[in-house]
Amino acid sequence: MKGNRLIKVDYLARVEGEGSLYVKIKDNKVEDVKFKIFEPPRFFEAFLRGREYKEAPDISARICGICPIAYQMSAVTAMEQAFGMKVDGQLRALRRLIYCGEWIESHALHVYMLHAPDFLGYEDAIQLAKDYPDAVQRGLRLKKVGNDLMTIVGGREIHPINVRVGGFYKTPDKAKFKAITEELKWARDAAVETVKFVATLKFPDFERDYEFVALRHPSEYPLFEGHLVSNKGLDIEIKDYEQHFAEEHAKHSHALHSVLKARGAYFVGPLARYSLNYDRLTPLAQKCAKEAGLGKTCNNPFKSIIVRSVETVWACEEALRIIKEYERPDKPYVEANPRAAVGCGCSEAPRGICYHRYRLDDKGIILDAKIVPPTSQNQKTIEADLAEFVPQHLKLSDEKLTWQCEQAVRNYDPCISCATHFLKLHIERE
Amino acid sequence: MPTNAKPKLAVWKFASCDGCQLSLLDCEDELLAVAGAVEIANFPEATRALSKGPYDLSLVEGSITTSHDAERIQKVRKMSKYLITIGACATAGGIQALRNFANVTDFINYVYASPQYIETLHKSTPIGYHVFVDFELRGCPINKMQLVEVLSAFLNGRKPNTPAYGVCVECKLKGTPCVMVAQGTPCMGPVTHAGCGAICPSFDRGCYGCFGPKETANTISLSEQFHKSGVTDEQLIRAYRSFNACSDTFRKEGDAHERQ
């Protein structure tokens, strides 16, 4: 094998959005790695200015069709912080419920349709379905349960219409959850089967000393509340995010790279959440993780497929708990009283934390907006993973190395549409 | 369509949120059947496998916002027997067409620290501004059952059954009481294209027009009604300038109130 190679993927598949990968190898050393985002910019933060606070959840949801609830929850919690509102009780529980729906849907999509084919050597889930029909059918049905949950609470699965600042437009009647309860019990068992299925896959021996960043709540597995914490000593309130994190603009990307001012690259998403919140998982989710060979932390990004499956078990259980305890509240929302203020919100999108900040005038018109999606926060870590992964696997043919590099990027379930508000693989061996 | 080989389906993405193409993957019950009826020849969100054109049916998501994409859509058209746009971005420019009402340079400077790295057009335009479109499927996002209907129709050589009447008709069919009459809630249903199944009014919320204008929409009359219920001109302009801001009907009505 010659020492100089160029590996490139011009249009990375099985990710959400448009991006490419470029790895340049000279004298068997990685000289350059670029994970490029060429998804055209859409300027959400610019056109949110002048819009009313009420519109932010619906408009920002359009950044991403895969995780609209993440945007809606970050937006509403930011507005509520600005206006000094507290949304609790059953309204808060319903918010967690619809978010569980998004996690189940997004995780099932990624585990079965986007990531599993890499491990088993298939181009896609439809090819996979020919040899593993039961697994793919299970994945599709699991995904559907997540979508159904979002539809019951939110009106539809993509860009739900029922989330508003203060709560919901209309709360569901308890009877609406009757049919889905049985399906969720099936989903919980299917998620347990999923953990067993993905635990049998072959994982590259690859671990790095990451700085994991996730929300941490005093008693719950985090969704949209808590402190932002890391395994390297970060422990801050959401409102202090911008004091500790900065965005850099790299020439090769339409997405801003996010860094920790003190320490640089960091890692958000399932591995970070799991490693920082293992003790907040349900006993069943912990048992599944243990049986799949995971410890209380996980530093192998390829094993994110197991962690996603464990989180799916958790999300099904959490949804069942919420539905069991649900009583329809008297009023579907808490009234908002706009005032001139700044509000910050942060929530755990399936692929990691999503931060929003809005500055509002006394009528609730948005003067400034800042949105930091999960994928832009992981970009630097993805590039660093590749820089370390490639030299360990130079014996592979270009074709195999390219595929494994793609897989290494898909570990992060990158959502490029989000990140530009990102993927081509390009490995160059000179 | 040739009967001896499976028709080739391609899915293309331009500036968008990926939600409309996700609708295809969201057809959990129908996906494997669809995959059995067609050859999925280009669908990067779902597969690494690519096969070369020409394609029998191209689904196009997203709007044109870069000169590169303006060239790419021409190539897609040339390679496609039928081209169907899916969603508000491809059909009406999407929410990113709000730049059309502002100065895009200001937008770039606002969002990016190094504006010189950003290449973008001044306007976000629908696919129909650039190439001939065989069928436009509305919605932000599209309704997945309508997508299955459109695929089925084109594969079988018939016209898709996607009514062009307003959301009001869907409310009547569903038995949802009118939120404007019963609750005084401003609702864009009277001027908005059907297809969603009138979701918002069934959640005690006024329609916000995400399927764009219906045929022969009387926006002037609706605006008068909105004024009577206390909606300001600023709010009215924002209502028309959202996910289908660049559709002729909504753009003209929004502009008319700005001039006043």
Element (H, E) at B132: none
> Can you tell me the mean pLDDT for A46-65?
95
What residues in A contact B18, CB-CB < 8 Å?
16-17, 64-66, 415, 417
- A20-29, A127-136, B122-131, B242-251: least confident range: A20-29
> Can you tell me the mean pLDDT for B129-138?
97
Q: What percent of chain B has pLDDT over 90?
A: 78
CA distance B44 to chain A (A): 4
Q: What's the complex ipTM?
A: 0.95
What residues in B contact A147, CB-CB < 8 Å?
26, 28
The pLDDT score that the predictor gives to residue A322 is 98
Contacts 24+ apart (CB under 8 A), B30-33: B30/B148, B31/A126, B31/A140, B32/A126, B32/A129, B32/A136, B32/A137, B32/A140
The pLDDT score that the predictor gives to residue A34 is 84
Reply yes or no on domain B8-155 having CATH 3.40.50.700: yes
pLDDT digits (tens, 9 = 90+) for A166-220: 999 999 999 999 999 999 999 999 999 999 999 999 999 999 999 999 999 999 9
Residue A60 pLDDT greater than 90, yes or no: yes
pLDDT digits (tens, 9 = 90+) for A242-270: 999 998 877 666 667 888 999 999 999 99
Contact A41 B120 (CB under 8 A): yes
Identify whether the C-beta of residue A308 lies closer than 8 Å to the C-beta of residue A114: no
Contact A125 B69 (CB under 8 A): no
CA distance A423 to chain B (A): 10
Residue A429 pLDDT greater than 60, yes or no: no
Contact A43 B107 (CB under 8 A): yes
Residue A341: what are its φ and ψ, rounded to 5°? -165, 170
Q: What percent of chain A has pLDDT over 90?
A: 77
> Which of B:229-258 have CB within 8 Å of A?
235, 238, 242-243
Burial of B111 (0-12, 13-18, 19+ CB in 10 A): buried
Strands A426-429 and A19-26 turn out to be parallel
The pLDDT score that the predictor gives to residue A195 is 98
- Mean pLDDT, chain A, whole residue set: 92
Half-sphere exposure of A260 (CA within 13 A, CB side): 23
> Which of B:32-61 have CB within 8 Å of A?
32, 35, 40, 44-49
CA distance A326 to chain B (A): 19
pLDDT digits (tens, 9 = 90+) for B13-64: 999 999 999 999 999 888 888 888 899 998 888 888 888 889 999 999 999 9
- A77-91, A152-166, A370-384, B113-127: least confident range: B113-127
Contact B98 A18 (CB under 8 A): no
Please give the single-letter amino acid code of residue A248.
E
In chain B, the residue whose alpha carbon lies closest to the alpha carbon of A147 is B26
The pLDDT score that the predictor gives to residue B30 is 87
> Can you tell me the mean pLDDT for A33-45?
82
In chain B, the residue whose alpha carbon lies closest to the alpha carbon of A141 is B28
Q: Which domains are present in chain A?
A: 42-397+405-414 (1.10.645.10)
Q: pTM of the prediction?
A: 0.94
- Mean pLDDT, chain B, whole residue set: 92
Angle, vertex CA B146, rays to CA B145 and CA B152, nearest 5: 90
What residues in A contact B48, CB-CB < 8 Å?
13-14, 123-124, 403, 406
Kindly report the three-state secondary structure assignment for every residue of chain A.
CCCCEEEEECCCCCCECCEEEEEEEECCEEEEEEEEECCCCCCHHHHCCCCEHHHHHHHHHCCCCCCHHHHHHHHHHHHHHHCCCCCCHHHHHHHHHHHHHHHHHHHHHHHHHHHHHHHHCCCEHHHHHHHCHHHHHHHHHHHHHHHHHHHHHHCCCCCCCCEECCEECCCCCHHHHHHHHHHHHHHHHHHHHHHHHHHCCCCCCCCCCCCEEEEECCCCCCCCCCEEEECCCCEECHHHHHHHEEEECCCCECCCEEEECCCECCECCHHHHHHHHHHHCCHHHHHHHHHCCCCCCCCCHHHHHHHHHHHHHHHHHHHHHHHHHCCCCCCCECCCCCCCEEEEEEEEECCEEEEEEEEECCCCEEEEEEEECHHHHHHHHHHHHHHHHHHHCCCCCHHHHHHHHHHHHHCCCCEHHHHCCCEECEEEEC
> Which of B:147-186 have CB within 8 Å of A?
none
CA distance B160 to chain A (A): 22
Domain-wise residue ranges, chain B: 8-155, 167-259
Residue B187 pLDDT greater than 90, yes or no: yes
